[in-house]
Structures are given as structure tokens and as C-alpha cells.
Structure 1
Amino acid sequence: MAQDIPNIKHLRACEAVLRTRSFSAAADEVFMSQPAVTQAVAKLETQLGSTLFDRRPEGVFPTEIGHIFVSRIVRMQHYLAQGMAEIMRSARRQHGQSAKLHHLVTSVQLRALVAIAEAGNFSLAARSIGISQPSLHRAARDLEHLCAVPLFEKASTGILLTKLAEGLVMNTKLALMELDQGYDEIAAWKGGRGGRVAIGSMPLARSAILPAAINDLLGQAPDTRISIIDGPYRELLYALRHGDIDILIGALRDPVPVDDIEQTALFDDPLAIVARVNHPLMKQDVITHEDLAKCAWIVPRRGAPTREYFESMFPEEGLRPQSVIVTGSLILIRRLLSTSDQVTIISRHQIAQEEKYGELKRLPITLSDTERPIGFTTRKGWSPTAIQKDFLARLSDIGQRANEIW
């Protein structure tokens, strides 16, 4: 989240100036005086270190940076409006009461809302954004009064969001993400830092796709700031939808679990049953279902496609393995396999290096219908920065060459 959020009314004034090409017309729209609008734009230009508008006798004209930044302001306002509209619909308030409610919210209130949602505690939230606890508490209650619905509730563990507040928090975080994107785009236009790419990574991506894509990108843009979050699919999907990450890489879901995301396939990935190279089953010409049921297995958590396939392999209660370790850690899986007689079901791409160096090997068993589409997931309507587009292009290129690389 952007720690330095400009005055929301000033941002609206800036957008109105670009759209109307006039400071006076913008002043009428945002209910400010013309000198106040002029001052607001000048203050934004100082904060950004860039000129947003050329003032000429024949009118006001946006600079290239002005176009870049205002396009992000427009997207930011869209999310704020959407968040307020959703909360008002839930509260059954009339449309006329809520149509312009997002124009009244302040930057302090937005920061307070997100900080409380993330910290679950007023004191920790205040500390995280550098304001006093009374100031944060006041901002939170003012926002609650503006919405005319309860947003927070006390619990034994701290402060929780109400159901009404959850959608508002998501849209607020997406709005502030747009502001961050705008800062990055201006910095890149001025020849500064490469920008940010925040990635959610599932196991296959960590071992194969992601290292190749990151090395490729950093070779061309070494000042890019890359952050990677590991975790199960459900947590990463939540982070994606809330703007904490930009791209989620790994096995795609069918059907798509929510309607506000888009999936892009890169390549199909088959599964294999894998063990150490000297595993006793490697000596057998024929491996039966009973042989597999006697093995100790390492499997992922429930909900993962690979776990679902594993469960389908042993439909009969009497043939289910007695020893099962559940983990998503590739490091642990590889170590356990190489030092024991345990087996696992895993993507062939994930153990390509171990196969190459003679540490692990696929059992001679053909698994039918196990090819999973591997790719990346993004938010619908997401507008990536240039560096993020570059990263996606590199992912697509690696996907096309996947079978050659691994």
C-alpha cells in the first residue's frame, strides 16, 4: 500500500482538469475554487517531481506523464466507487444516497481502513502507518459514520472487519495499488527504477518457471523490485484479488473459482510417481496397485489437483496406503525421497533436475489423464505496467519452450 497517499480531492481535481482541459471547469466539478484547484495540481506536481499539465494561452494540455498518472487516478476512483456502491447495496441504501459517497472519503480514512484490516489491532495499525492511535481511531469511526454501517467489531483476538467491510477493504486495496502503479510508471518514464512485480508462487513455479523468468527479466532490467509470496492456492488467490500480488503462477483451476480473475495457460504438465533411483520398486518389471498401496507416500494438502488424483488412485478402503505424509515443501519432499523408500506423485517438471543428476526417478507406471494446465492467473481488468507486461511476455515465452527447457 502506498504510504504517501495524496489528498483524494486533489486527485479528483487533477482528473477533472485533464478531462475538461480547464482549471475553472474542473473547479466547478469538484466544488473547489479555481485557485484551490491550481494549488492542488501544483502540489501534486511537486510531490511527483513532474509536470502534469502544460498551461498555454489556448488552454490546459496534459503532458505524457499527466496522461499516465491521471489514467491511474481514474482507475483508482473506479475501485473506490465500486467499494462504496457495494457496501451501500448491502446496507440497502438508495442509489442517490451512495452515488457520490466515494468523493467524500479521505486518504487518512483509506489508510486507516487497510491498516486495521491487516493488523487486526488499533495500536499496531496506527504504528504501521505512522499516526497516533487516537487519530487512527477517529479516522476509522469517521469512515464508519460516512458509510452509516458498522465496519469493525471487537473480538477476543482484536478488531475484526464486519462482512459489510470486507468488500470495501478489497476495493480500497485495489485502488491504492493503482496509485502505486502510477508512481512506478512515472519513475520508469523518467528513467528511474524498473518498477515492481509481485508474484504468488505455487510449487511448480518455484522449481521451474519462476527462476527462469526472473533471471531473464533481471538480465534486462536489473533494478526491478521483485517480491514472491509462497503459499497454498486459496491464500494466494485471496492475495491476488486484494492487490497484494499481481500474478499467480502455477496449476490452473477448472472451473475458475471466482469470476473476477483470468487464467492463461502456458503448457500442459503430466504427473508421475517418483522415488529414489534405487527404490525396490525400480527392480520390478510390473508394479501393481497393491505394491503402491504398501508404499509410504508423500502427498500435498487436500484441495490440490495432485492430491485429488492421488485419492482417486485408491478408491477401495482396503487398498489405501497406511503411511501418508502431507506437505507442500519441495525441499522436504526431495530430501525424504532421496533418503527413504517413500514415493510421491508430482509434476514431471518439478523433478527434472533430480532426474538429470540421477537422484530421483520416475517409476515405470503410466498415469492416464494427468496432464494439468500450468499458467498464470491475473485479475480481470488489471492494467499492468510496462515491466509487468515484460515479465508476462517472458513467462509466455518460457511456457512455449517448457518441454525443451525441462
Structure 2
Amino acid sequence: MDNMAPNLRHLRAFCLVAAHQSISRASEEVFLSQPAITQAIAKIELALGVELFTRRTDGVFITDAGRLFLVRATRAQEFIQAGIVEARRIAQVKSGDGFENLGHLVTGVQLRALIAIANTGNFSLAAKRVGISQPSLYRAARDLERLSGMAFFRKSGQGIELTPAAEACARHAKLAFAELTQGYMEIAEYKGIDSGRIVIGTMPLARTYILPTAINRILDARPGVKISVIDGRYEDLLHGLRYSEIDILIGALRNPPPIDDVVEETMLEDELALIVRAGHPLTHKKKITIDELAAYPWITPREGSPTRIKFEELFSRRQCSAPESQIEASSLVLIRGLLLESDRITILSAHQTRHEREQGLLVQIPFDLGNTRRPIGLTTRQDWHPTKTQAEFVEALRSVGRSLA
């Protein structure tokens, strides 16, 4: 089974057979013949490598593996339907415009085409990504637009862009396909195969100790699991999380979250500190003034970040001009190199420089920054339903967080 373009009608048939414990009753609702439904379920079973139903004279009864996959197949269909509802609301589609039962008519290929166009902004590139001819992709995209009764595509200076309604539909389609991928991984776990994958979005605060320690713990327990770590700006990582390209986001929390479809969980609280190299002139002083801090060159976080705001407040609240020499950087490797080879100062999480301070390379200088405590933790999608492996990894993160707290 192609997890990026599943046969949605077959999935719906599977769910109906499970609900009714009858192929004949499912046939009446999905408009497929009984032999076609039997064949569809056989294809899904072959792809998953498990039996989904036990056939008896009094009906068909779902197996344990079938129950696992049923949860994912049901949730996938709910995501697709939710995307259609939201798209119709955004486009202000009136009742009677387009097909009311679009969720039963849309195909996996059409949704896959929609996602590819969203990602590439070009029909030719989208066709290559999907692996079909451009005319086939174009036809699938336009069929989806015709069935929905909504405008999905418009030309822009960069190529083809999705309308807001299409964006809503594409995001939910991604969530649906991600849900099915979760289902494939759970079936593999059920068969005793550690073939799961965890995609983690990480901000600087988690990279030093929390994340490496948790990754080592989960790989000790499940060596076959694939881990993918994505670094980036909070806004980019949040987008990846909401579009199911990332499973978990770890780092400084925004508190409250910037959007209501994600949830945050605090693991520990962290404080900022002023960090310099060992032997820096300020390390010999017992009391440091704000003017002395301003006289040195600085390495600052990027503009708009929470730590940058704290840096700016450090001087503005004391009515002191900010340092003239500033390098804006977020890479800890670069910051460490700059600090070790100069008299620069930076404002960082004390936790981020833990290893360097233990090795005697960097030093925290004594200066009261006031209340700089901020929550560090996890951000996940509100509707996220982790696999067993992913849940174990989340618990490993919590355990590491508790040890630091």
C-alpha cells in the first residue's frame, strides 16, 4: 500500500466492515460489490502483512492488529472530512454548491497532487514529486477543484499557489496521511519490528543535554527506531509541526501557544546567564556595572526572539545605551568559537553552556538579570496520537527534564 496515496474508498470499506461486522452491509454504504470489498481488504492485509479480520459463518470480526489500524484509518478519514468542512467555511460555499459528500468522493491521488502543488508551487515539479505525468497530476488537481465547488489554485508571481480554502484542505490531507503512516508503524511494532520513525523539531535550549540523552535512551531500548532532528527558527518548526512534518517540538515554550491547535507541556524552568570565556577581564571583578557590560562587544540572539528581548531590556531598563558592537548568532558552535577567541559577552541559557562550563572553557559572570525564568518543554499537535515508540520517547524526554529540574 502506498502510504502517500492510499485508496480512500478501500479504507472506508475496511472501517464499515469493522463497524457492521458484515461485508454485505458495508457494500450497501460504500457502493462497492462484496467481491470488490473482499479484494480491497485482502490488498490492505497483504500490504500490512497481517490479518485484519477473522472470517466466520456468523460474520467477520476484527483482529487485534485490525483494531490498531482501524483507529488510524478512522482518524485519517476524520482529518480529511475536517479539512473539507474548514475549506467550505473559508470559501463560504453554500449548501448545494459542489458535492456534499466530497469526503466519500475524493481520492488519495487527488489529495497527494494537492499537497505536492502546495509544496512546489508548480505543476511540473509537483508531478515529478508524485511520480506521475504532468497531465495526470493536472487532471487530478482540477477534478478535486471541480468536485469541491471551490477555487483551489491561482497564479502568482512565483507560479501556482493555493487559495486559503485549498491550504486548509492540504493541511488536513497531510495530517491524514501522517495518521496512516503512524498506523503502518504500529502494525510493524505489533509484529515485533522496530521500524518506527520520530521527527523532532528542536530549538537551541534542548540540543545540549536533554535531547541527546533522551535519544540515547530510546535507541538503547529500541535500536531499530529512526530519529530525525530538525533545527530551525521557532516559526518554521511550528509550521512543520502543524503540517505533520514534525512529531514533537522541544525547546523554550511561548506560553500561551501562538495558535490553538497545539499544546505545550512544561518539563523544567531555565534561567538566562551572561557567559564569557574563562579568563575574561570581567571574571576578576566581584561587582560589575551596566556600563562595563556595554563597553564590551556582544553576541546577541536574533531579533524578535525571547532572549533578544531580554538582552534589550537589560540595557533599556537601566537607561543605558546598548553595546555598539554586536554579532547576531544562534548557533552554539559559532557562539562558543567567538567567545573563546575574544572578550565578547553573550546572554544564553545557563543550561546551554553546561558542558563548556564543566570543562572550564566558559564562565558565568555575576550580574543580576532579574527574573529570567522561562519554561522549557514539549509542543505537540492537539490531536496527536503517538505510537508506542513515540510515547516512550516523550516519556524519556520528561524523565530527563525531571532530572534537570
TM over 0.5: yes
Q: CA deviation at 1:4?
A: 4.6
For residues 96 and 214 of structure 1, the distance between their equivalents in structure 2, rounded to whole angstroms, comes to 52
For residues 190 and 106 of structure 2, the distance between their equivalents in structure 1, rounded to whole angstroms, comes to 30
For residues 121 and 313 of structure 1, the distance between their equivalents in structure 2, rounded to whole angstroms, comes to 47
The residue type paired with residue 127 of structure 1 is: K
The residue type paired with residue 141 of structure 1 is: R
Contact 2:3/2:180 (<8 A) preserved = no
Aligned to 2:167: 166
Aligned to 1:36: 36
Contact 2:300/2:327 (<8 A) preserved = yes
Contact 2:291/2:320 (<8 A) preserved = no
Aligned to 1:51: 51
Q: Deviations over 1:187-245 (max 9, x none)?
A: 11111233111100000111121100001110110100111111011110110011000
Residue 144 (str. 1) matches residue 182 (str. 2): no
2:334 pairs with 319, 332, 352, which one? 332
Aligned to 2:81: 81
Q: CA deviation at 1:155?
A: 2.3
Deviates more, 1:19-28 or 1:30-39: 30-39
For residues 37 and 238 of structure 2, the distance between their equivalents in structure 1, rounded to whole angstroms, comes to 40
1:105-254 pair list within 5 angstroms: 105-254=106-255
The residue type paired with residue 42 of structure 2 is: A
The residue type paired with residue 269 of structure 1 is: D
For residues 275 and 194 of structure 2, the distance between their equivalents in structure 1, rounded to whole angstroms, comes to 43
Aligned to 2:302: 301
Deviates more, 1:98-107 or 1:253-262: 98-107
Q: Say which SS state the counterpart of residue 266 (structure 2) adopts.
A: strand
For residues 192 and 129 of structure 1, the distance between their equivalents in structure 2, rounded to whole angstroms, comes to 28
- Please give the root-mean-square deviation of Cα atoms over the aligned residues, in Å: 1.4
For residues 265 and 389 of structure 1, the distance between their equivalents in structure 2, rounded to whole angstroms, comes to 16
Q: CA deviation at 1:318?
A: 5.2
For residues 22 and 200 of structure 1, the distance between their equivalents in structure 2, rounded to whole angstroms, comes to 43
TM-score under structure 1 length normalisation? 0.96
Contact 1:277/1:359 (<8 A) preserved = yes
Aligned to 2:26: 26
1:376 pairs with 365, 368, 378, which one? 378
Q: Deviations over 1:107-146 (max 9, x none)?
A: 1101111111112222221111211111111111111111
Contact 1:194/1:222 (<8 A) preserved = no
Q: Which runs of 5+ in 1 are unaligned?
A: none
1:280-359 pair list within 5 angstroms: 280-315=281-316, 319-359=321-361
Aligned to 2:394: 392
For residues 133 and 115 of structure 1, the distance between their equivalents in structure 2, rounded to whole angstroms, comes to 12
Q: Which runs of 5+ in 2 are unaligned?
A: none
1:260-299 pair list within 5 angstroms: 260-299=261-300
Deviates more, 1:249-258 or 1:145-154: 145-154
Contact 2:4/2:112 (<8 A) preserved = no
The residue type paired with residue 143 of structure 1 is: L
Q: Say which SS state the counterpart of residue 263 (structure 1) adopts.
A: strand
For residues 346 and 131 of structure 1, the distance between their equivalents in structure 2, rounded to whole angstroms, comes to 49
Q: CA deviation at 1:95?
A: 5.0
Contact 1:194/1:221 (<8 A) preserved = no
Contact 2:196/2:226 (<8 A) preserved = yes
For residues 11 and 397 of structure 2, the distance between their equivalents in structure 1, rounded to whole angstroms, comes to 35
For residues 155 and 177 of structure 1, the distance between their equivalents in structure 2, rounded to whole angstroms, comes to 29
The residue type paired with residue 8 of structure 1 is: L
Contact 1:50/1:65 (<8 A) preserved = yes
Q: Say which SS state the counterpart of residue 286 (structure 1) adopts.
A: coil
Q: Return closer, same or farther for 1:105/1:233 CA change in 2, 3 Å cut-off.
A: same
For residues 116 and 375 of structure 1, the distance between their equivalents in structure 2, rounded to whole angstroms, comes to 34
For residues 4 and 283 of structure 1, the distance between their equivalents in structure 2, rounded to whole angstroms, comes to 61
For residues 74 and 94 of structure 2, the distance between their equivalents in structure 1, rounded to whole angstroms, comes to 24
For residues 393 and 255 of structure 1, the distance between their equivalents in structure 2, rounded to whole angstroms, comes to 23
Contact 1:16/1:26 (<8 A) preserved = yes
Q: Deviations over 1:334-371 (max 9, x none)?
A: 11111111111000110011001111000111222111
Q: Say which SS state the counterpart of residue 19 (structure 1) adopts.
A: helix
Q: Deviations over 1:227-271 (max 9, x none)?
A: 111101111011001100010000011222111111111111111
For residues 301 and 170 of structure 2, the distance between their equivalents in structure 1, rounded to whole angstroms, comes to 31
Deviates more, 1:311-320 or 1:189-198: 311-320
Contact 1:6/1:44 (<8 A) preserved = no
Identity over the aligned pairs, expressed in percent? Answer: 50
Q: Say which SS state the counterpart of residue 87 (structure 2) adopts.
A: helix
For residues 303 and 311 of structure 2, the distance between their equivalents in structure 1, rounded to whole angstroms, comes to 10
Q: Return closer, same or farther for 1:113/1:41 CA change in 2, 3 Å cut-off.
A: same
Q: Say which SS state the counterpart of residue 208 (structure 2) adopts.
A: helix
For residues 318 and 384 of structure 1, the distance between their equivalents in structure 2, rounded to whole angstroms, comes to 49
- Runs of 4+ more than 3 Å apart: 94-99
